[in-house]
Amino acid sequence: MKAAIVGGGVIGGGWAARFLLHGWDVVVSDPNPRVETQVAEILLNAEKCLPALADVPMPARGTLSFEPSLAVAVADVDWIQESVPEDLSIKHSVIAEIQANAPAQAILGSSTSGFKPSQLQDGAPRPGQILVAHPFNPVYLLPLAEVVAGPDCIDEVRDRACDSLRSIGMEPLIVRHEIDAHIADRFLEAVWREALWLIKDDIATTEEIDNAIRYGFGLRWGQMGLFETYRLAGGEEGMAHFIRQFGPCLAWPWTKLMDVPELDEELVQKIASQSEAQSGAYSIRELEAIRDRNLVGILRSLKERDWGAGRVLNQNDKRLAERVSVAAQDDGAAVPIRLLESTVLPAWIDYNGHMTEFRYAQVFSDSCEALLRRVGLHDDYVAAGHSYYTAETHNQFYDEVAANKPYYTSVQILLADAKRLHVFYRMHAADDDRLLATLEAMYLHVSIQSGKVVAAEAAATTRLMALADEHVALAKPETAGRFVGQR
């Protein structure tokens, strides 16, 4: 798949990074002579943070190229993302040139935060190809994309667009009826208006307003949004009680939503000086890095709970996992069975820059699952009430490995009978076969319902015992049967 990014600024560069790191080839078209430097800086940030959200390997990175000619850039692509300045005449001119040269089946998405799709489609030769795909900065980390099709967009185009967005880890929010500024920016506009008045009237500074958000309701909104947060405020009686109790407050003259202070030079300088006092100790690049690291921590916390944006990340992991290579070594040779082939994920790295100890346990646990699936013990087997439980393990660590380094695991079966499975795993660096770690494990076959050790399903036992018979010819691992501290 290939995407053309038209406009390589903050938003366009973010789109380029997200597509690239999900395996798409990307061509960027922008007349700015600094575009390659700008995109490189954005991509550097994205490479540090986006893979840290995944718990499976990301696909191989696509190729990045730059093409000053818009006509050439869009000639052979599947997706075109327009991210030029918010000027309708500029967008119309760019869209006309895109449609004169791009494939008719390509999706043409606009990053516009305010214009309606009907305004973009006006006068276009193929209006059904155009829709709004409005992201949020940083595009490579925040999953939301507002998708607004408009009256002339073809449903099939909208549906393909949503599928493509999901394939790069985004969550499409379909806006059913077009409206100025879509959905999210209308909220931001309301908050922004109120914040301007609070500063103008000397009620609060920029830092105090930001503190009100980041120490208070912003933390709730980040994981529950607006209505689910207020549902809780209604107590046991829920949302209806909340509205009845607090609804009358809306008639009170608390806000100035329909009024905007004049942004004269005095107010502009007031805001700018307060912002400088608040954040001037950091460069923009430093603030971006701080923002991205904080977002990774928040998003991973949500991911562990499969909640909010974290659920989107887990769904993307499942899509990415389908691409993970699992070696199929079924030649019957008397060699340890190759199980997993993968890479060390950035999220697995500790403060020393090496793979964290508990991640080795995860790798060997995944290896056990791969072995059991190999002999037919899939999800249905567990759902029927049977599984292998870990009775005893012994780890040894031999060498260090860093992020994004390839590895593979193998297993040697030492014993298999109807109720027991005794195995020895090895984890190797794939580039030079260095031994990284081993795990010796004893599993017992258990009835989940009774919690007692019982005989495994006969066919699976037969396959495990056949593998064990093949491995009898292998030398017993030198460290099998060791105890902690043994010389």
* Nearest Cα to Cα of residue 391 among 367, 419, 412: 419
Helical axes 184-200 vs 265-279, angle rounded to 10°: 100
The percentage of residues in the chain with a pLDDT greater than 70, rounded to a whole number, is 98
pLDDT at residue 334 in the model: 66
- Sign for the pseudo-dihedral over CA of 131, 134, 138, 141: negative
pLDDT at residue 323 in the model: 64
3 close to 107: Cβ distance less than 8 angstroms? no
Rounded-to-integer distance, Cα 4 and Cα 27, Å: 5
pLDDT at residue 325 in the model: 44
Which residues of the chain form CATH 3.40.50.720? 2-182
Q: Give me 133's structure tokens.
A: 């795909």
* Nearest Cα to Cα of residue 5 among 82, 97, 103: 82
Region of 225 please: left (phi>0), alpha (psi -120 to 50) or beta: left
Tens-level pLDDT at each residue, the chain (487 residues):
999 999 999 999 999 999 999 999 999 999 999 999 999 999 999 998 898 888 887 888 999 999 999 999 999 999 999 999 999 999 999 999 999 999 999 999 999 999 999 999 999 999 999 999 999 999 999 999 999 998 889 999 999 999 999 999 999 999 999 999 999 999 899 999 999 999 999 999 999 999 999 999 999 999 888 888 888 888 888 888 788 887 787 777 777 777 888 888 999 899 889 989 988 898 888 889 889 988 988 998 999 889 999 999 999 988 887 765 444 444 445 689 998 888 888 888 888 889 999 899 999 998 998 888 888 887 788 888 888 999 999 999 999 999 888 899 999 999 999 999 999 999 999 999 999 999 999 999 999 989 999 998 888 888 889 889 999 989 999 899 888 877 7
Could you say which architecture CATH assigns to the domain 337-471?
Roll (3.10)
* Backbone phi, psi, residue 419, to 5°: -120, -15
pLDDT at residue 163 in the model: 96
The percentage of residues in the chain with a pLDDT greater than 90, rounded to a whole number, is 61
Could you say which architecture CATH assigns to the domain 2-182?
3-Layer(aba) Sandwich (3.40)
Q: Annotate 414-430 with b (16+ C-beta within 10 A) or e (fewer).
A: bebebebbbbbbbbbbe
How many other β-carbons are positioned within 10 Å of the β-carbon of residue 354? 17
Kindly compute the dihedral angle of the four CA atoms of residues 473, 477, 482, 484, in this order, to the nearest 10 degrees.
-150
Pairing of strands 406-416, 171-174: unpaired
377 close to 460: Cβ distance less than 8 angstroms? yes
Which residues of the chain form CATH 3.10.129.10? 337-471
